[in-house]
Amino acid sequence: MSGPPYPTAAILSAFVPGLGQAVKGHWTKAAEILILGLLIAIAWYLGFHFRGPFSPVLLYVLTPLGVVLWWTRQVHDAYFALIPGSLFPVLPHPSRGSLDIQIIGFLFLFAVYSDLYIIQARPEYELKILGSVLPGVWGVLVKAQSPILHTFIAVGLIRLKRWGLFLYLVYAAWGIINALVNLAVLPGPHRIRLVFILSLMIFTAYLWRRRKGFTG
């Protein structure tokens, strides 16, 4: 087919993201666009309303870049796409019965926003590494690794990649060791650390048992 098949849908999506997909009956894509737009809005909110260490990155890098990519992708899809489905095929192998692994990946994606909220809303928050706190810029970098690492793990698990499982196992081993040291040398209460250790052990055992669900 020559030429753009849906110029009207593209115009609608240009002014109201997702509207062109809805008009074409691509409801899954319209829902994905709405959810992604909400996630970008949350990132902007965290950067604007909480003047934490990540504010410049959230306001001047991640949010503008996210808006441009999100808006451009959905307009392009509204303009050219002929069939429904997923705008971002994050569930590549539903027939493999690996939805449970991917749900764990989405939990890690939720953890990214939890990390950002804690760090932004509480700039004085200090992440303990083997019972100690790194000062200055190093302390900020230590806090930054948490949402970054959770993002990569989420993508790896959602995409059912073996490197995602490997990265999670490294994260879990280090997380358990670090939490045990903090448990031994830092004063209580230790409820959060105990829950963290227990949850990591459960997820690790489960993902290891389901390791054949990962692809290359």
The CA-atom distances, in angstroms, between 84 and each of 10, 21, 69, 196 are: 15, 9, 20, 40
Residue 93: predicted pLDDT: 54
Q: Measured between alpha carbons, how far is 200 from 215 in angstroms, rounded to an integer?
A: 22
Contacts 24+ apart (CB under 8 A), 161-169: 161/214, 161/215, 161/216, 162/214, 162/215, 162/216, 164/105, 164/214, 165/207, 165/211, 165/214, 168/203, 168/204, 168/207, 169/204, 169/207, 169/208
Mean pLDDT by 10 residues, the chain (216 residues): 72 94 90 91 89 85 92 92 76 65 90 88 78 75 86 90 94 91 81 88 94 83
Whole-number pLDDT of residue 1? 41
| Per-residue pLDDT, 21 | 92
